Amino acid sequence: MKAEKFVARDTKRALEKVKAKLGANALIVSTEKSDLGIEISALCGENYAPGKVDTAGSTEGRYSDEITLGYLDRELKTLRGVLYNALGERTWREVAQKAPTQSALEQRFHTLGLSKWAVDVATSNVDVSEGLNNAWSAALSNLMSEIPTHNDFHRTVDTRPTAVVGGTASCRSLICRQLITQCLQASKPSKIVLISVTPDPSGALQDFCKSKKVKRIHVATTSEAKLHLKRLKPRNKIVIETGDLMPTLGAKDPMLELFVDRELSLEILSVLPAVHQSEVLRSSARHIEHLPITGVVISRISEAVSLGAVLDSLVAGKAPLIGISRDFDSVVHPISPHSLIGVAKKLTRGQIAAGASNSVSHGYSRTA
């Protein structure tokens, strides 16, 4: 039997059409989004009622059974994914052994993308006897207290040489442009210098310096960069574009040589791309943990699906949070831990909504 199609503005109205035409036992074959709304394909359930013998249609009956089993399998896999995302690294046994409020509290943090270690930090010493809402507020306060901030950064950045390290070349280029823009608010272009210590300097950054009449120096080695830094001391502001870090080289990473000379008094900004996985951020953090990091700038938030890895890194690294770097901002935008967690919640809600939408568009095997 050929499936019939029913189109309506939403799923509820489409199902009502199915029920009116094919009866309450109709079998849903598929549910898809279309330009007109929701399109449901359905078969008359009476033709596939349990125990009904239909020798002529035995092939169609087996086909219907396969469809039913296929969509049921999809539904179970989707449900398993939802539960996995909600529970994170927790197992059913671990959850069952804890008080409901404690379990719900941890599930919320796992949904935000935090690791088990960070969740334990946030939920430590939280009194769950006062209810979920109070416990959630207390745990969020714990998490925020673990993320230090640098309130004086925008004052010190105008006077000390600042190097941007980590992340991707495009992230570093954007942050350098934003730092220079900030310096131009208080200094003349002639008092600002960009030093590019990378074999592949950013073309966008070069064009920016030309347009702002800011001097740019490209050097091949960190030794050359040190010489220029010592010569340029009288200038008010120096911004340093660095190359990619090489964690696999350990202490032999040539980029690290620029920061061993403490007499240069460099401000070091560590870049945390929000699109990187926890493993990548942890590797970079270990690679530069011995450096005097001034603070952290988060980049590429607009492309992220979760801030769990970033929050983990901030809590574990203890480096002060300075702000976020966005394409539409002319300078690095200051952000507090409270606001950052607000962004993390917004991203999580967006992912949950997108997951629910995808579930509807793919459809399930169900009875109308």
Q: Where are the domains of the chain?
A: 4-85, 88-139, 153-351
> pTM here?
0.69
CB atoms within 10 A of CB 255: 20
> What pLDDT shows up at residue 206?
96
Q: What is the mean pLDDT of residues 298-310?
A: 94
d(CA 200, CA 343): 33
Cα–Cα distances (Å) from 335 to 119, 276, 282, in that order, read: 22, 20, 22
> Cα-flanking dihedrals φ and ψ of residue 294, to 5°?
-75, -40
Q: How far apart are CA 346 and CA 300, in angstroms?
A: 15
**pLDDT attached to residue 89:** 44
Report which of residues 288 and 15 the model is more confident about. Answer: 288
Confidence grade of residue 26 (pLDDT, cut at 50, 70, 90): confident
Helix and strand tally (H, E) in the chain? 13, 11
Query: Which tens digits make up the pLDDT trace of 215-254?
Result: 999 998 999 999 998 888 666 789 999 999 999 899 899 8
Range name among 54-68, 164-178, 215-229 with the lowest pLDDT average:
54-68
- 57 band by pLDDT with thresholds 50, 70 and 90: very low
Q: Do 358 and 351 touch, CB atoms closer than 8 A?
A: no
Does the pLDDT value for residue 83 go beyond 70? no
Mean pLDDT of 204-220: 95
Rounded to whole angstroms, the Cα distance separating 30 from 36 reads: 16
Which pLDDT belongs to residue 55?
42
Poorest-pLDDT segment among 73-87, 205-219, 243-257: 73-87
* Residue 23 near residue 48 (C-beta atoms within 8 A): no
Cα 280 from Cα 235, distance rounded (Å): 36
Amino acid at the residue 133:
N
What's the CA gap between 335 and 272, in Å, rounded? Answer: 14
Q: Which CATH superfamily is 153-351 part of?
A: P-loop containing nucleotide triphosphate hydrolases (3.40.50.300)
